[in-house]
Structure 1
Amino acid sequence: MRISMLLLNQTSPLLASLDIPTERLKMEPLLSRRQKEKVLIIMGATGVGKSKLSIDLARRFPAEIINSDKMQMFEGLDITTNKITEEEQCGIPHHLLGILNPNDDFTAENFCEVASLAIDSISNRGQLPIIVGGSNSYIEALIDDKDFIFRTRYDCCFLWVDVSMPVLHSFLSDRVDRMIENGMVDEVRNIFDRTADYSKGIRKAIGVPEFDEYFKEETFLDEENRKKALKKAIQKIKDNTCELACRQLKKIHRLRNVKRWNIHRIDATEVFRKCSKPAEEAEEKRVVGPSTTIVAEFLYNFVSMEVPAPVADIRDHITQCLVT
């Protein structure tokens, strides 16, 4: 069953184009809920590994993932927007990923509408909604709505994956290089349009405006100057990506220190300083393990002095502890 037209008319026409499952969607009055549902929110600057952590946690707990990265909600530009691939999703259901027309104008209010429906649907299937993405303005609009309805309905657990900025900037620079190697230039070239509106939709994504300038002048340049212009565009993408990371970090600090959100900081810096096997070991020790413990405590009031060992399904472990 999909969203009925009656429900769509009660929200907004935009929802009619979105493919959100609503099995057993509860429409009962707010006060009839005896217990708050739980929602996990994973935050952090671009490139810190939020998506991977969400997958790791969804493989340990009964969960589904809701994307809150505004550019990844649009269809297309998978390389440029760094969308998680179907293979990387590991069979975990993902919502609000690549569901919008590239030219749509999608606001924080629109996000609140569709995300709320997805959260309600996931919760009613007995799964934990995991909201993950770098668009903190969307997350803030959802969590701290003007009537505080969300906080009344849901208990929230916030995980913040943090990486030292110098280390992260180096990683982001290398990531842009990998995106170029994977075909980013041609991907953006395919949507190049001199008359397009770059103030809305997917054309606001970092990489599109920068390459737009390059595409406009490349035909008038000789080979040497064309290479210089391309290098300049790539460097601008790197600079703008690092600036985005800094802005995201500032917003998280504001939510934590000014709005007093109870955000659990997970330091992943050591993971980015390692390579191959040591990186996997550091990730389990520094990121996945501590995050698993925090989520277990949040869901089951489970307290442990040690980080649980990685298991295929932690629910049996939690149940045994609660029984004893």
Structure 2
Amino acid sequence: MLRKVPLIVILGSTGTGKTKLSLELVERFGGEIISADSMQVYRDLDIATAKATKEEQAQAKHHLLDVATPSEPFTVTHFRNTALPIIEQLLAKSQSPIIVGGTNYYIESLLWDILVNTSGDEDLDETGKQLADKKFATMSTTDLHQHLASIDAASANRIHPNNRRKILRAIEVFQETGETLTSKLAEQRKQPGGNRLGGPLRYPHIILLWLRCQQDVLNERLDKRVDGMLKQGLLKELRNFHNTYEGVTVQAYTKGVLQTIGYKEFVPYLMKYNADFDEKVEEYLKAHQYQMPSKEMDEELKDTDLSAGLQLLRNCCDELKLVTRRYSKKQIKWINNRFLASKDRQVPDLYELDTSNVSAWSDMVYSPAESIINSYINGETTEIEPMPKRLHPGADLNEETSNFCSICQRHFIGEYQWTIHLKSNKHKRRRESERKKETSIPNPDIKSS
């Protein structure tokens, strides 16, 4: 029997153990690891982006780590164009590529034909020159959206007026190819296996492993990870990065790694203090086992610069914990909607593995993953059931239409989000408030007696 060589994909939120499983699977089945993380492609923020350590990287060959400098943007198109040749080379050698990451739209770009090419996509050195006409780079987002509407009304209707990146991309497609993004997407969708999200699957043999963790357990795990980062040298890493790239922060703050979770939360501290102050903070933290001072402990440092600095640093850490939790929930929502609930999309079987109990890792995570992959390779039926597909409540609604709520002054893309908004308590309260204001305005034609 001809053995199948699958493309193995490990999905999951931050902190669910994706790196650990990927290393175990390489040891068991061979292959190489391809990181699908939009922040780990950049150099210099190893701790902040939770990259595989140097020791872990030495255990297996890793790709797409440290391939761009923080001063340049690295888009999903660049990622796809770099990763696909690696995948093809591995499969040609009958080795399994193991895709690992939490940036799900990066993973989508590899599994499905969903991106539109332009001539500038092939040259990574031209990332800052993606628009043929540079005047667009200085235009306001509102003006850009209006320009897009004049050349590609359907895309303007599909893209949120505030989403500058997607607006620019749609304009770029027209500038580079002479065709609208809408027409390009229509071509993809007409392919056999295409759907409203784009073209068909690229590869016939794919295994999807989704690492899940109980949310309360994951939240505690993520909080401990942040605390552990300080002990690993996070403050020094952030200071070096800030001092190196501070000059590009002003003009490129919304691009690439400058918006990564793990850096932007500490900008208030980094802007206010310097490396000399960092040393005082490090001395304090080291003496206190890297535990941030509580409000009671702050009394010991009352009215000192160190107290204020530690307080600000603690606020930054708390903010990082908060946004990391939010991001983990966003990752889960993306997988549910784009992998499990796509009505007409070709989606490989998705297997859920519970990583909540680390002490039960072998029984709950590694052994099931090994069984799934081994059965697939040998053409056998695994006893482990994949996750059932479900129907998204907005599956039959038009997701490429724009609506504007004049009461809340907000735009909504797609009928599903628009319907949710109209039913929301916030919208209803504002609508009622507007109604009361209108009824309370006296009619000048009615004279009081």
* Range of TM-score over shorter length: 0.7 to 0.9
Q: 1:72 to 1:223 in 2, by over 3 A?
A: same
Equivalent in the alignment of 2:266: 211
Query: Would the aligned equivalents of 2:3 and 2:377 in 1 still touch at CA under 8 Å?
Result: no
SS at the partner of 1:59?
helix
CA distance in 1 between counterparts of 2:320 and 2:74 reads: 23
The answer to whether residue 255 in structure 2 is matched with residue 200 in structure 1 is yes
- Give 1:50's aligned residue: 18
Would you say 1:224 and 2:279 are equivalent positions?
no
One of 52, 62, 66 as aligned partner of 1:84: 52
Aligned counterparts of 2:46 and 2:256: Cα–Cα separation in 1: 14
Shift of 1:302: 3.2
**Structure 2 residue 209 is matched with structure 1 residue 163:** no
| Superposition pairs of residues 236-275 of structure 1, within 5 angstroms | 236-259=319-342, 261=347, 262-271=349-358
Change (3 A) 1:203 1:38: same
Q: Is the 8 A contact 2:3 2:379 kept in 1?
A: no
Asked if 2 retains the 8 angstrom alpha-carbon contact of 1:136 and 1:248, the reply is yes
Q: Is the 2:5–2:94 Cα contact (8 Å) retained in structure 1?
A: no
TM-score (norm 2): 0.55
Which amino acid in 2 is paired with 1:104? E
2: CA distance, partners of 1:284 / 1:38: 22
Q: Distance in 2 between matches of 1:289 and 1:139?
A: 24
Identity between Structure 1 and Structure 2 (%)? 33
Letter of the 1:170 partner, please give it: E
- Deviation of residue 86 (structure 1)? 2.6
Which of 84, 89, 97 lines up with 1:116 in the alignment? Answer: 84
Q: Distance in 2 between matches of 1:304 and 1:248?
A: 27
Partner residue, 1:18 = none
Counterparts of 1:58-207 in structure 2, within 5 Å, are 58-146=26-114, 147=188, 151-192=201-242, 193=246, 196=249, 197-207=252-262
AA partner of residue 106 (structure 2): Y
Deviation at 1:35, TM superposition (A): 10
2:62, 2:248 → 1: CA distance?
Answer: 34
* Contact kept in structure 2, 1:37 and 1:154, CA below 8 Å: no
Q: Does 1:300 align with 2:378?
A: yes
Q: Determine which structure has greater relative contact order: mean sequence separation of CA pairs < 8 Å that are 6+ residues apart, divided by chain length.
A: 1
Q: CA RMSD in A?
A: 2.3
The 3 A distance-change label for structure 1 pair 42 and 305 is: closer
Give the TM-score normalised by structure 1: 0.76
**Greater alpha carbon shift after TM alignment, 175-184 vs 190-199:** 190-199
Matches of 2:382 and 2:324, distance apart in 1: 38
Which of the pair has more CA radius of gyration?
2
Contact 2:6–2:206 (8 Å) recurs in 1: yes
Residue deviations 1:101-124 (CA, integer Å, cap 9, x gap)? 122211111111111111011112
Relative to structure 1, is the Cα distance of residues 35 and 55 closer, same or farther in structure 2, using a 3 angstrom cutoff?
closer
Q: CA deviation at 1:201?
A: 2.7
Which consecutive residues of structure 1, in runs of 5 or more, have no partner in the other structure? 1-33, 272-278, 307-324
Asked whether the equivalents of residues 102 and 201 of structure 1 are also in contact (C-alpha less than 8 Å), the reply is: yes
Within 2, Cα distance between the matches of 1:304 and 1:265? 14
Q: Is the 8 A contact 2:31 2:95 kept in 1?
A: yes
Closer, same or farther: CA 89–258 of 1 in aligned 2, 3 Å: same
**CA separation of 1:244 and 1:305: change in aligned 2, threshold 3 A:** closer
Distance apart, 1:129 and its partner CA: 0.5
Q: Quick one: structure 1 residues 88 and 100, their matched pair in 2 at CA, closer, same or farther if it must change by over 3 Å? A: same
Deviation at 1:88, TM superposition (A): 1.6
Aligned to 1:23: none
